[in-house]
Amino acid sequence: MNVVSAVILVTLAVIGAASIVRELSLRLFSYREEHSVLFVTPVNDGDNAEFVLRSAAEKLRWGRGRRSCAVCLDCDLDEHTRKICETVCRDYGFLKLMTKEELKGELFG
Encode pLDDT of 20-60 as tens digits: 998 888 777 765 555 566 666 666 666 777 888 888 778 77
Q: How far apart are the first and last CA of the chain?
A: 65
Whether residue 102 has pLDDT greater than 80: yes
CB 43 within 8 Å of CB 81 = yes
> Are 20 and 45 in a shared domain?
no
pLDDT of residue 33: 59
Does one domain contain both 39 and 11?
Answer: no
Q: Report the number of distinct structural domains present in the chain.
A: 2
pLDDT at 18 over 90: yes
Question: Nearest CA to 12 among 24, 22, 20?
Answer: 20
Q: Are residues 14 and 44 in the same domain?
A: no
For residue 105, name the pLDDT band (cuts at 50, 70, 90): confident
| Measured distance CA(69)–CA(96) in Å, rounded | 7
24, 60: one domain = no
Q: Are residues 52 and 75 in the same domain?
A: yes
pLDDT at 21: 92
Statement: the pTM of the whole predicted model exceeds 0.85: no
Residues 86, 57 share a domain: yes
Answer positive or negative: Cα dihedral of 103, 37, 67, 34: negative
**Taking residues 77-87, what's their average pLDDT?**
84
Rounded Cα distance between 89 and 109, Å, is 23
68 and 79 share one domain: yes
Assess whether pLDDT exceeds 90 at residue 8: yes
